[in-house]
Chain A
């Protein structure tokens, strides 16, 4: 890697604002649980057991 490339890369690195863990958890919870996301995260990990109740009849993977 040339010195010029190193400098460019250093500038790139300085300019990056990667997502925080809190951001990742937040968007993932909303993707997974829709409007229930806030509750699911607030009461995690116990809330994950409630997943079983969120499936409607006939959808449940364990019925396969």
Chain B
């Protein structure tokens, strides 16, 4: 088969067709910036440096690149996330370990009464006094700039990356499943108790949240370049819900809102990468129905701990899958071990197309560079159709 471009190769996989070879698309927010000597603060505030780091380190990039909009999109640190920081207990360091760390949310009970939020909305949760994350030191101008102006600045920097390299984006925007949001607002224990003690209120909140999340994500994808840059039409829906839900709870609380959001995106011309962490193996029969009523080639399931061979068996004729070279292997393993793992994944999932080699949640910032290169190269060695 003639060599395809990266974009053509990825689209073939999304469409469940064989490409010239298996594509490789590891998610990388922090690995390349760290490798290029950037600080965590640089990643959030210096989009030109981030774009240059990506341009200078293409040997680590597979068939697309994470646009690192983590830094400005929802459930994140800046931009719209400036507002997220006023309702969620983010801790954001300036440096990578050991001086700092990558950004983290510290669990805190933010929503105490669902009815109250339904009545008054989130406005009275903004600038919550229970938060201790420096939001009260920021100026109004700072919030407004990062929400309304910065996304375009970021988009312009990324566009330079695309123009110089021709490498597609992995996504145009991120969107959070309402249940994932609620686990941050109520804590995992609190939310799980709510599912048993006040299930109707949890569902009402999910109903309140999903459309807002979906509309904001589509708007953000347009700013990043949907329809103008390959891959920017992909919405990245995360994160798979609280870990360990029974299939019954999953079908009640997770699946219906995921399906509603996916339907909105696809019917409005976007594609969806479902970045669903934890082990989704028990839910694969439900996940199979995500494509009901939708055209082919619009959904990519992005798995972390899920049994990929089983996922291929159950989902393979309906949607593409990507995953899941283990983080621990990239940090602690050898090149040979990484190659062996990739070879086995390709054997398990590559047949007939519809598979993109990827990582678990993302490529750890402290992965061994030689291991990342081995993963990216493995598709050329073992993934030819």
Contact = CB atoms under 8 A, between A and B. Distances in A.
Contacts of A4: 5, 8
Interface of B: 5, 7-8, 11, 117-124, 127-129, 136, 166, 208-209, 211-212, 215-216, 218-219, 221-222, 226-228, 230, 233, 267-270
Given A5-B230, A18-B218, A35 B119 contact: yes
Contacts of B209: 31
Contacts of A59: 124, 128-129
B121 A36 contact: yes
Interface residues of A, number: 33
A27 B210 CA distance: 10
B228 A5 contact: no
Main secondary structure, interface of A, reads helix
Interface of A: 1-2, 4-5, 8-9, 12-13, 15-19, 23-24, 27-28, 30-37, 51, 54-56, 59, 61, 63-64
B123 A27 contact: no
Contacts of A35: 118-121
Nearest to B7: A5
A54 B124 contact: yes
Contacts of B8: 2, 4-5, 8
A8 B11 contact: yes
A31 B118 contact: no
A64 B205 CA distance: 28
Contact of B136 (A19, A51, A64): A64
A38 B4 CA distance: 52
A62 to B, nearest CB: 9
Contact of B222 (A5, A18, A30, A32): A18
Q: Which of B11, B209, B211, B215 is packed against the most chain A CB atoms within 10 Å?
A: B215
Contacts of B233: 12, 16
Q: Which of A17, A19, A23, A59 is packed against the most chain B CB atoms within 10 Å?
A: A19
A12 B226 contact: yes
Given A4-B8, A16-B269, A27 B226 contact: no
B129 A12 contact: no
Given A12-B227, A19-B219, A30 B166 contact: no
B173 to A, nearest CB: 11
A18 B119 CA distance: 29
A7 B221 CA distance: 20
